[in-house]
Amino acid sequence: MTALLSLKRVSKRFRGLLAVDGVSFAVSAGDLFAIIGPNGAGKTTLFNMIAGAIVPDQGSINFAGKPIGGLPADAVCRRGIARTFQIVRPFPALTVEDNVIIGALLHIRDVGKARTRAGEILRSLDLFEQRNRIAATLTLPDRKRLEVARALATEPRLLLLDEVMAGLRPTESDRMVAILRSLNRDNGLTIVLIEHVMRAVMALASNVLVLDHGIAIAQGKPEAIVRDSAVVQSYLGAEPV
C-alpha cells in the first residue's frame, strides 16, 4: 500500500538554526499519526512545510502520489490537506457558522448548500447551538473545535492538527479525543497531529514520530516508543507521562 503522505529528507534552516534536519516518514491512508517532541523540536515547522506555509529548503513531500513541497497553502488545502493552527485563528469578527461556511465553500459553490453542510459539521462537533455567536467571543475549547470544524468543512483527506488539546481541561480533552477517534474510525479520515498531551497520544495514535532538535529520533507504535531509551532520555525523561 502506498502512503498517503510521505516526506523524504525534508530540511529547513532559519538563519543559522537547522529547524528540521532531513526528516523522512510516511503516513498511510486511515492512519492516526502523532508527532511528538520537546518544545523547539521543529514540529510546527514540519507542519508548516506540509501545509505550504513554508517552503522546504531540501527534500520532497508527496501527497496522494504527487509532490506538494513548495505549493502555496491554499493549493495544498485544495489537494485535500486541512490544518489547524497552534495558536487558534478563527475569523474573529464572523459568526461561528460563517467561519465554517467559508471552509465548506471551497468545494460547494452554492452558499445555501454550504450552510447546510456547515450545520452538519457544527452538530457533529457540538457547536451548532453557538452558530450565531461571534467567533471572538467563544471560549478557548470552543474556538479549538471551531477550527477543527472549519478544517473539516474543506473536505480534507488528511487533517493536520497542531496541539488541539493544549490548554484544554481533561474532560474537554477527552471530548476532543472522542471526536477525533470518531472522525478517524467512522469517516476514514487520515489525521496527523502534533501533541504534548501524552495521554491523548497514547489513546489515539496508531503511529508516533519523535522529533528532537529537528531530527527524527524514533518512529513506531506508541507502546514501542514509550519503551525507546533515546526517547525517554530526550523527551519523556523531562516530562513524565
Partner 1 sequence: MAAKTSASFVDPFIRIAVSLFEDVSRQTIALLGILLASLLIVPWLVNDYLLTVLIVVLYFAFTGQAWNIMMGFAGQLSLGHAIYVGLGAYIAAVLFARFGIAPWIGFLAVIPVAAACGATIGFLAFRFRVAGVYFAILTIAFAEFARIGFDHLDYVNASAGLFLPVAQYARNDLWHLRGNPTMFYYVILAAAAFAFVVCRALLKSRIGYFWLAIREDEQAARAAGIDTFRYKMAAVMISAVITSFAGVFYAFFYNNLFPEQVFNISRSIEIILGPIIGGIGTLFGPILGAFVLTGLAELLNAAMAAIGFDLPGAKQVFYGICLLLVVVALPEGVWPWLARRIGVSESRQ
Cell of 153: 468543512
Question: Sign (positive/negative) of CA torsion 147, 77, 50, 32?
Answer: positive
Among 117, 150, 184, 192, binds partner 1 (CB under 8 A): 150
Nearer to partner 1, 153 or 183 (CB): 153
Where b means 16+ CB within 10 Å and e means fewer, 159-189 reads bbbbbbbbebeeebbebbbebbeebbeeeeb
Torsion, Cα 28 221 194 131, to 10 degrees, reads: 70
Cβ 71 to partner 1 shortest distance, Å: 11
H/E segment holding residue 20: strand 17-27
Nearest to 210 by CA among 202, 199, 219, 201: 219
Cβ 85 to partner 1 shortest distance, Å: 7
Chain centroid, CA 199 distance in Å:
17
Nearer to partner 1, 166 or 202 (CB): 166
Among 51, 121, 159, 231, binds partner 1 (CB under 8 A): 51
Cβ 175 to partner 1 shortest distance, Å: 23
| Maximum distance among all Cα pairs of the chain, rounded to whole angstroms | 54
Residue 4 burial (CB count, 10 A): 22
In the numeric block, the cell 489515539 is attached to 204
Nearer to partner 1, 105 or 158 (CB): 105
Cβ 93 to partner 1 shortest distance, Å: 6
Q: Which of residues 68-107 bind partner 1 (CB under 8 A)?
A: 72-75, 77-78, 82-83, 85, 89-95, 98, 101-103, 105-106
Cβ 78 to partner 1 shortest distance, Å: 5
Q: How far apart are CA 10 and CA 145, in angstroms?
A: 30
Binding mask 208-227 for partner 1 (x = CB under 8 A): --------------------
Nearer to partner 1, 44 or 207 (CB): 44
Among 16, 66, 109, 187, binds partner 1 (CB under 8 A): 109
Q: Check residue 111 for interaction with partner 1 (CB under 8 A).
A: yes
Interface with partner 1 (CB under 8 A): 51-53, 72-75, 77-78, 82-83, 85, 89-95, 98, 101-103, 105-106, 109, 111-112, 114, 134, 150-151, 154
